[in-house]
Structure 1
Amino acid sequence: MPEPSANEAHQDARRSAHAHAATLKRLEKSSGSLAAQAIARMDETLSWYRAMPPENRSWIGLVAQAGIAAFTEWFRHPDAPQAISTDVFGTAPRELTRAITLRQTVEMVRTTIEVMESAIDEVAAPGDESVLREALLVYAREIAFATAQVYAQAAEARGAWDARLESLVVNAVLSGEADEGAVSRAAALGWNSPEHVCVVLGTAPDGDSELTVEAIRRAARHAKLQVLTGVLGDRLVVIAGGNDNPLHVAKSLIGPYAAGPVVAGPIVPDLLAATRSAQAAAAGLKASAAWQDAPRPVLADDLLPERAIAGDPAAREQLVEEIYRPLEEAGSALLETLSVYLEQASSLEGAARMLFVHPNTVRYRLRRVTDVTGWSPSDVRSAFTLRIALILGRLADGDPQS
């Protein structure tokens, strides 16, 4: 018979020096059969385990074997610091935490511990039953903490990845580069393509941006909105879906924003069109300083005159197409009456004298202006918007009187 090597002799010496060497030796011999019993018990009692593909079941089997082997090593050196999570769960790929829930992992660990506990009388040397049972109880606590740590680390990694993915989507919408790739990323984040989408912009508060983002998500859940959000520089950006009233959306989400203007872009049909809403909101946020009495939040469309003066071509086009052109098509009388009325400091009598008509005629035409454009000439703010639209319309037509 060949003589044992130096390493084997050293291991034998360490085993013999162990306070419960006989139990340890029997535990080492039984580890394979205990793992097989644990897998059989899981197959018998856990329906989700039976329904899993063979590859995942094999990984779970390896985890069970690693858990029993780690207990054996832990029983050999109970006072030595050990990373149980690495010893047990390090044998499985990271993707397994996505395929198996925390509840299922707890059931797997519980089943394995129950199998080991039921075999204590057979594995423990005479007189060591209570020692082994107590050691198993302590190890079960440690493996529970290790399980929680593995899933916490996996959740943290997924959260960091999701945050980067969400930031890419939000930045693509703001920069006008949203495409099908952005839609796919948004879908991976749980965006279910709601029919009504708008973008809300404002100043981000100081402090941890993650706390701000979480506050937006809480507000969105309360308002039953879907959101994609992020802090880009000093701006807090929210892409919200699920409501066709942008002002209502902005009011529902305004809490986490810092002091200052909050601007809601117009409603668009989907995420690909959200760039239009984002650009309107960004232009409105830039021009909001010109309207110091603006409400908070304010619609980007309510800032059309300030946006046009600040050089926003979309606002200029919108004012011409939605106000000037409809008035032009409705007849020259409406344009002429509105122009004279505004030039006469919104005086019905003054406009009537200039037009050589009765004040009631002026009043009737002004009501028609409201019907055609949606803006009332008698309201100071609306009158300002109408005046800017007239100026831009004349410039577009090349009117020499402009």
Structure 2
Amino acid sequence: MAYEERSQPASDDRPPGLSPAAAALAARCEAQVNELTRRMARGAFEQVRGYTELPGDVKDVEIAATARHGIRLFLRGAADGSRWDSLEYFQERAAQRAEEGMPLHLLLRTYTLGARELWRALREMAGPGEQQALAELTEALFTATDQVVGAVAESYLDERVALASERHEQNRSRARALLDGRPVVDGSTPDGPVLVLFVRFGTPAATDGPSPVTVRRLLRRVQAALDRAFDTEVLAVLDGDGGHVVVPGVTEPPARLRESLRETAGPELRLAAAAATTVGDVPRAAHLTSEVVRVAAACGVRPGIHRLEDVLLEYHLSRPSEGSARIVAMLDPLDDRPELVATLRTHLEQRQDRRATAHLLNLHPNSVDNRLARIQDLTGLDLADPRDVALTLAALLLRDADTGAVTE
């Protein structure tokens, strides 16, 4: 559990010493602790939505025991001056409730309702002339409830964060094992088909890249969108650029997936999907989806859901072969001219539309013509020749594959 011992509250947080009258009132009420606990568990707590659905042992044993401990701790401390502000017990119980999945609002209301019932008992017990003693105990009860509720909420949330982090890492480990073709450690290897997705967010990054907080928020939103779209908790290995998603038992992405992810990750999102017939086929499907997205981006296909059929020729041209090195070498004369490579790539992505190329590169169309002419002079490739266009496209795709470059 995420519970760790916390320091006791500073002495300044404790109420001033109680008068003998207040101590006497608390001592008389201490004799009714068991009856008061039963009244809480069987009456007050049942007002809380969802309480009656809890397991019997949780209601009748765990919560009742915590209430009894809290009441006795407060009254005994008020009666004899012993410590009543020890929070470790409540923190441990809060972590346990979090692990069991008890809603936080329900847990906190048991404490606030318990404080109200204790105050009512003190009020009923107070006799004539004990108004000041009751006021002292009421102030002390407010202080104690504030400290306990704060500690309980903190421990509960710490435990939930730890549990979520542990589950997230377990799911990432399962996904990595499936993507790498390794056995799943926990033995939960899926049977039947597996849908593999590759997602590239394509969101513009700041000069130094997006902040870690921004990336974490994006990944949480994307995970939630994926879970909603597939109506299950999917396995994902994602970072700030994107990554792979594995969904056992599914062969096709749902129709709402693209729009759901676009709303979350932006309009530049790219996505490819491939079905693996068995878990052993997952690595192939993973490689295929990432390659389809890479080729689609390099060829200027608009962001969206990409299929292999959409980039079939380009995909074929980007496959290494015995002639790959010679094809890539055709662009070697441009190694020291990155602006010419960018112009060439953009020109091909825009289907050789010089005005569109000029607009994207913030150039005059004549400047684009001059750069294309310089490219032809250096490489000998004529972009008016369909064969040379195919060679140039293959060279760019193969260069990307060799360097792992990501081109949007």
What is the TM-score normalised by the length of structure 1? 0.55
Does the C-alpha gap of structure 1 residues 240 and 67 become closer, same or farther in structure 2, counting only changes over 3 Å? Answer: same
**Contact preservation (8 Å) 2:175, 2:246:** yes
Q: Displacement of 1:164 after TM fit?
A: 1.0
Map of 1:198-347 to 2, 5 A cutoff?
A: 198-202=196-200, 206-208=210-212, 209-220=215-226, 223=229, 226=232, 227-232=234-239, 234-239=241-246, 244-245=252-253, 249-250=257-258, 252-254=260-262, 257=265, 262-268=270-276, 274-288=282-296, 291-297=298-304, 298-311=306-319
**Contact preservation (8 Å) 1:202, 1:258:** no
| Alpha-carbon distance in structure 1 between the residues aligned to 2:293 and 2:53 | 57
SS of 2:197's equivalent? strand
Give the counterpart letter for 2:103 in structure 1. T
Partner of 1:150: 155
Q: Displacement of 1:174 after TM fit?
A: 2.4
Calculate the aligned-residue CA RMSD, in Å. 4.6
Structure with greater contact order relative to length (CA < 8 Å, sep ≥ 6): 2
SS of 1:236's equivalent? strand
**Contact preservation (8 Å) 2:272, 2:290:** no
| Alpha-carbon distance in structure 2 between the residues aligned to 1:131 and 1:73 | 15
Does the C-alpha gap of structure 1 residues 286 and 221 become closer, same or farther in structure 2, counting only changes over 3 Å? Answer: closer
SS of 1:199's equivalent? strand
| Alpha-carbon distance in structure 2 between the residues aligned to 1:295 and 1:228 | 27
**Contact preservation (8 Å) 1:42, 1:111:** no
| Alpha-carbon distance in structure 1 between the residues aligned to 2:20 and 2:142 | 20
Q: Which has the larger radius of gyration?
A: 1
**Contact preservation (8 Å) 1:261, 1:288:** no
The CA deviation string for residues 346-398 of structure 1, in whole angstroms up to 9 with x for no partner, is xxxxxxxxxxxxxxxxxxxxxxxxxxxxxxxxxx9xxx9xxx9xxxxxxxxxx
**Contact preservation (8 Å) 2:219, 2:239:** no
> Please, which of 88, 113, 116 is the counterpart of residue 115 of structure 2?
113
| Alpha-carbon distance in structure 2 between the residues aligned to 1:18 and 1:257 | 58
| Alpha-carbon distance in structure 1 between the residues aligned to 2:84 and 2:97 | 26
Does the C-alpha gap of structure 1 residues 94 and 144 become closer, same or farther in structure 2, counting only changes over 3 Å? Answer: closer
**Contact preservation (8 Å) 1:229, 1:239:** yes
| Alpha-carbon distance in structure 2 between the residues aligned to 1:54 and 1:225 | 32
**Contact preservation (8 Å) 1:113, 1:140:** yes
> Please, which of 66, 74, 79 is the counterpart of residue 71 of structure 1?
74
**Contact preservation (8 Å) 1:268, 1:277:** yes
Does 1:173 pair with 2:166?
no
SS of 2:219's equivalent? helix
Runs of 5+ unmatched residues, structure 2: 1-15, 204-209, 322-385, 395-408
Does the C-alpha gap of structure 1 residues 18 and 83 become closer, same or farther in structure 2, counting only changes over 3 Å? Answer: closer
Give the counterpart letter for 1:199 in structure 2. L
| Alpha-carbon distance in structure 2 between the residues aligned to 1:46 and 1:87 | 20
| Alpha-carbon distance in structure 2 between the residues aligned to 1:68 and 1:93 | 17
Partner of 2:195: 197
Map of 1:9-28 to 2, 5 A cutoff?
A: 18-28=17-27
**Contact preservation (8 Å) 2:22, 2:79:** no
Does 1:131 pair with 2:144?
no
SS of 2:37's equivalent? helix
> Please, which of 72, 75, 90 is the counterpart of residue 88 of structure 1?
90
Does the C-alpha gap of structure 1 residues 246 and 224 become closer, same or farther in structure 2, counting only changes over 3 Å? Answer: closer
Partner of 2:365: none
Give the counterpart letter for 2:42 in structure 1. D
Give the counterpart letter for 2:121 in structure 1. A
Q: Displacement of 1:215 after TM fit?
A: 2.2
Identity across matched positions, percent = 13
SS of 1:266's equivalent? strand
| Alpha-carbon distance in structure 2 between the residues aligned to 1:64 and 1:161 | 30
| Alpha-carbon distance in structure 2 between the residues aligned to 1:202 and 1:169 | 21
More helix by share: 1
Q: Displacement of 1:240 after TM fit?
A: 5.6
Q: Displacement of 1:42 after TM fit?
A: 0.8
Runs of 5+ unmatched residues, structure 1: 1-16, 187-192, 314-379, 389-402
Does 1:97 pair with 2:98?
yes
Q: Displacement of 1:264 after TM fit?
A: 0.5
Does the C-alpha gap of structure 1 residues 104 and 32 become closer, same or farther in structure 2, counting only changes over 3 Å? Answer: farther
**Contact preservation (8 Å) 2:193, 2:279:** no
| Alpha-carbon distance in structure 1 between the residues aligned to 2:24 and 2:192 | 63
Q: Displacement of 1:199 after TM fit?
A: 0.7
SS of 1:119's equivalent? helix
SS of 1:264's equivalent? strand
